[in-house]
Amino acid sequence: MLSPVAVCDACVLYPAPLRSLLIHVSRAGLFKARWTNTIHEEWMRSIVREYPDINRRKAERVRELMSAAIPDSLVTGYEDLIDSLSLPDPNDRHVLAAAIRERSTLIITFNLRDFPAAELSRFNVMALGPDEFLAALLDQDPTSFCSAIRGQREELRNPPKSVDEVLATFHKQGLVKTVARLRPFSDLL
């Protein structure tokens, strides 16, 4: 089965645990994560504003690590499409434009109301929340998905986290279905 291409909205890249999970799952080959420089600017600006201990340099370092982890993730050349698109929040048009340019069928976002199905369907794109998206990927390939989480968990050293702690973190991120489906696989995480 071909891995779906999904543009990740800034709101799903903002929380570090979810961002890390998406990167690990993408690196496992379960989907192809895509984003733009504008999407990067949005999540980085929010993090720098909300967390006084994270400055612009630290946010840029995370961006560099994301690019190194998924070298083909950056979508460019979509800007000419933005003005022709209509969404409830005009500031979200760049996300749809990137999906169209990349021929992505998915936008992963918490802001589903900002990406109405009727408008997106014109471009063969749909928006999914991260929980629905990740739960579906888990159902398709539990072994690879669990391996990706195990890799993510093993990178957590300051402090290290148990399986239950990682699952609790995912639950707090809103990944309720995903966590429920992961519990039977705890020994693989």
The model's pTM is 0.95
Residue 3 identity (one-letter amino acid)? S
162 touches 171 (CB < 8 A): no
User: Please, which residues have CB within 8 angstroms of residue 32's CB and are 6 or more apart in sequence?
Assistant: 3, 4, 5, 6, 26, 72, 73
Q: Which CATH number fits domain 5-129: 2.40.110.10, 3.90.1300.10, 3.40.50.300, 3.40.50.1010?
A: 3.40.50.1010
**What pLDDT, on a 0 to 100 scale, did the predictor assign at position 1?**
59
**What pLDDT, on a 0 to 100 scale, did the predictor assign at position 186?**
94
Q: What percent of the chain has pLDDT over 70?
A: 99
* Beta strand spans in the chain (E): 5-8, 32-34, 106-108, 126-128
Residue 44 identity (one-letter amino acid)? M
152 touches 145 (CB < 8 A): no
User: Please, which residues have CB within 8 angstroms of residue 30's CB and are 6 or more apart in sequence?
Assistant: 3, 137, 140, 141, 144, 145, 148
Q: Angle at Cα 57 formed by Cα 98 and Cα 18, nearest 5°?
A: 50
Q: Stretch 167-186: mean pLDDT, rounded?
A: 97
At 49-68, the pLDDT tens digits run 999 899 999 999 999 999 99
Domain range annotation of the chain:
5-129, 135-188
Q: Stretch 91-120: mean pLDDT, rounded?
A: 97
